[in-house]
Structure 1
Amino acid sequence: MNNFLIVLKKELKDIFRDRKTIIFSILLPILVFPLIFNVMFKGMEDTSKKATENINIAIKGDKNSSINNILKSQENITIKDVEDPSKELKDGNIQLIIDIPKDFDKQIAEGKKVDVQMLVDESSNNSSVASSFVEHLFNGLSDKIVADKLTAANINPDILKPFEVTVKSGVSEGDINPLAATFMNMIPSLIIILMISPTLAIAADLGAGEKERNTLEPLLSTSCNRNSLLWGKIVAMSIVSAIALVLSLGSMYFAMQKLPGLEDGFSLSLTPASFSFILLISLLLLVAICSLETCVSVYAKSVKEAGTYLSGLITPFMILSYVPVFMDAKNTSMLIFNIPVANSVALMKEVMAGVFNPTHMGIVFAWHVAYVVLAVLCAKYMFSKEEVVFRA
């Protein structure tokens, strides 16, 4: 135990002594997340505002209809007279083409159903936002036409809407926030990604880096046994990764509080049991991943080679972490709970949704114990082979 603590202390000192590790693994994520979220949503707000402030439209067909008049009455809508509306739409000079059938008002007065086409450029955000705005105007005009006809026939227009449907959460207090629900679905995947990312540079340095500096051989020649060396490196990586994860999630959480649509706050209602189980699964997976990364780093001849191998190792993990993101947390297939990494995310989603399925928890826990055992045995084997450790 003393040897392990000495190695752990030495590795942690080496890691935190490297300014690049501190900056890129710990400090950078803290600064990046608020910046990314603010820039992203500010851009979305600006795009939406710009698209609705000045909407350029071309009219085809009946240019003297009530639809034309309501469009003209809007200060933010300009009707352009262009020779080739399709080309102007494609070039971005106009946002919409409104095709109004001839004798629109006459047909409406006769009680006929008229088809008004709104042509948009689906590749343009401005066109999509403008179409939503104009569609809302048209729906208002349609409701007014129907209401006027009913009133003329001495019928209360409210008969068209005999009841209102209000959607609220049936499992928690307050209104439903779709944006908050989306972020909640993404958090388990983000935990995996943020947990893995800081370990790449550290893992490459702890094995291959020591080979390059010629410090691994002297370390192996000391009285400290290789198990203590191995566990010291694995635990050191895990500690730094856990610190980076907590700081990154904390930064992300506070950044979310200021996002449009989350002005009322973004709350995480986790019970102590939920939090404990998420922490346990995360730590087991982290130890397994750090052990595999140690295998790769010890095998590699150089830091550059280790970085190449580690990128190939981690990429499938990151892809698997996204597999359950858009799956229903309460109806996940049993197959997902048997897929590495994906089972971690699926179980975290279940626990965060308040579902404690003993079968799922048992399967995932057993798999994670197996991951740790196999990964550590693999790391021990690689660390015990002289031809691997001294490979050059």
Structure 2
Amino acid sequence: MKNNAIKVVFKKEMIEIFRDKKTIIIGILIPLFLFPLISFILGKTINNSDKKIQQEVKITIQDKGNSKLSEYIKKQTNINIVNVDNPEESLKKGDIYLYLNIPEKFDANIQKNNDISIDIIFDNSSRDSLAALSIIQTYIDMYSKGVVSERLNNNGIDSQILKAFETKIKTIEDESEGDARLILSMILPLLLILYSITGTMPPAMDLGAGEKERGTLEPLLTTKVNRMSLLWGKFFAITVVGIMMSIAAIVGIELTMVQQNGILKMSNGGTVKLLPIAILFIIIVPILNNMIFGALGLALSIYARSFKEAQTYLSPLSVIGLIGCYSTMMIDPKNIKTIYFNIPIANSVCLLKEMIVGVINYHHILITFGWTAIYILVSLYWAKYMFSKESVIFRT
């Protein structure tokens, strides 16, 4: 009888939730298409920006002596020399990416082996300027090596004497896949945990405070359904909606992973191949977080006098989620300290980060799941406590 009552309440709540088309649009379609759209726009923007910088580096050179270095840089096919009256002002406006200040008698001092320096002025708040700096530094280093080689040759010394050994840089993963995996480890846990929090909020507010406002909670309590069956039916309905949002987010990210020129694939064609156990945990961890925040949201919602008051109570949950997610976003997935796996929300994010990069640490898994089980039990107990108090249910 009790199980049948839970099923009836669950079915009733699911019908109520999906009767509003906004739930489908906001809860499922947005997570499904939002990240692929963002990825496409960011990938397109970054690719176009990189190509623009590589093909045309807009710089200004202040060189009264018309040095050979200046001529060398001007000969590069992707360098565009822009003549401006006030280089610093033009740099601030973005008209140029950087400017070089080459001192007088630069070539003469080079010939005399005198110490000399040039100034490179760039804008460290501009991504284009930083990219241009890297390109110009490469050209200057090439020119510098040529000068050193000429000096040695003039003194009858083989320039190879400066090269003690050759360095070959190799990676343990495909270069493009490693880049994509790094980006995915930063973004995927963040989105999944945030969706597991925010996905439970609308149904939790509607099935608690919303029913109070509509006046449908009191008639429901007069039926044969006991309060625990009512609690479980509502809890399962909220959890299912949250799970659907998380699945929509996962599918959206999967679409992003195969998207050409997206942020996870870019122009180098990189993509990510996840281990089966990683895929399993990517599914399980958000579901467990859905259960935690579903129970918390329902408890707060039933306590609230109105839908507006429920929004006020539930808003801090998203803030807590943001703190937990963003505080661990930049942590290296392969060097996460154990302390992070004892922090709510942060432990789920860190565990997902490890799974994405292929780190399977059973100690961290046990700690995270142990704490998660405690959080679920505490949240459910609190929700049960709220539902058992007349002063809370009929609080208007």
On the 8 A contact 2:176/2:269 being kept in 1, the answer is no
Instruction: State the match for 1:240 in structure 2.
Output: 241
| Equivalent position to 1:114, from 113, 116, 120 | 116
C-alpha contact (below 8 Å) 2:204/2:294 kept by paired residues: yes
Match of 1:269 in 2: 274
State whether structure 2 residue 31 is matched by structure 1 residue 29.
yes
Offset of residue 139 of structure 1: 2.1
Equivalent residue number for residue 230 of structure 2:
229
Q: Quickly say closer, same or farther: Cα 1:360–1:58, change in 2 above 3 A.
A: closer
Aligned equivalent of 1:282:
286
Question: Are the equivalent residues in 2 in contact too, given 1:168–1:175 (CA < 8 A)?
Answer: no
**1:194 pairs with 2:195:** yes
Match of 1:375 among 367, 376, 379: 379
Residue among 324, 337, 348 paired with 1:333: 337
Give the whole-Å Cα distance in 2 for the aligned partners of 1:83 and 1:211: 70
User: Contact 1:285 / 1:371 at 8 angstroms: preserved in 2?
Assistant: no
Given candidates 317, 322, 327, the residue that maps to 1:318 is 322
Given the alignment of the two structures, is residue 20 of structure 1 paired with residue 19 of structure 2, yes or no? no
Say which structure, 1 or 2, has more relative contact order (CA 8 Å, 6+ apart): 2
CA contact (8 A) 1:256 1:262 kept: no
| Pairwise CA RMSD | 2.5
CA distance in 1, matches of 2:80, 2:328: 46
**Does residue 5 of structure 1 match 2:3?**
no
Deviations 1:346-377 (A, max 9, x none): 23333444444444333322211111111111
Q: Show the counterpart of 2:394.
A: 390
Give the aligned partner of residue 362 of structure 1: 366
**CA distance in structure 1 between the aligned counterparts of 2:27 and 2:223, rounded to whole angstroms:** 31
**Pairs within 5 Å for 1:165-176:** 165-169=168-172
Give the match for residue 308 of structure 2. Answer: 304
Find the partner of 1:129 among 122, 128, 131.
Answer: 131
User: 1:367 aligns to what SS in structure 2?
Assistant: helix
Residue 97 of structure 1, aligned match among 91, 96, 99: 99
AA partner of residue 266 (structure 1): T
Can you give the 5+ residue segments of structure 2 that lack an aligned partner in the other structure? none
Query: Residue 72 of structure 1 is aligned with which of 57, 71, 74?
Result: 74
What amino acid maps onto 2:227 in structure 1?
A: R
Give how far 1:277 is off: 4.5
Q: Classify the secondary structure of the residue corresponding to 1:10.
A: helix
Match of 1:177, SS state, is helix
Q: Distance in 1 between matches of 2:32 and 2:345?
A: 25
**Match for residue 178 of structure 1?**
179
TM-score by length of 1: 0.90
Distance 1:262 1:124 in 2: 22
Q: 1:58 aligns with which of 38, 52, 60?
A: 60
Residue 248 of structure 1: how far off its partner (Å): 1.4
Indicate how the Cα distance of structure 1 residues 247 and 69 shifts in structure 2: closer, same or farther if over 3 A, else same: same
Q: State the shift of 1:174 in Å.
A: 6.6
Q: 1:345 aligns with which of 343, 349, 352?
A: 349
The CA distance in 1 between the partners of 2:337 and 2:305, in whole Å, is: 42
The share of aligned pairs that are identical, in percent, is: 37
Residue by residue, what CA displacement relative to the aligned partner does 1:119-165 show, whole Å, maximum 9, x if unpaired?
01222333223222222222222233233444555555444443122
2:184–2:356: 8 Å Cα contact kept in structure 1? no
Which string of whole-angstrom CA distances, capped at 9 and with x for unpartnered residues, describes residues 283-333 of structure 1? Answer: 332211100000111111222221221111221122112323322334332
Q: Residue deviations 1:92-116, cap 9 Å, x none?
A: 3333221112211122223334311
- Length, aligned pairs only: 389
User: Secondary structure of 1:328's match?
Assistant: coil
**What CA distance in whole angstroms lies between the structure 1 residues aligned with 2:72 and 2:335?**
48
**Matches of 2:295 and 2:315, distance apart in 1:** 15
TM-score, normalising length from structure 2? 0.89
Residues 201 and 294 in structure 2, CA contact (< 8 A), matched pair in contact too: no
Distance 2:242 2:169 in 1: 44
Distance 1:229 1:63, change over 3 A: farther
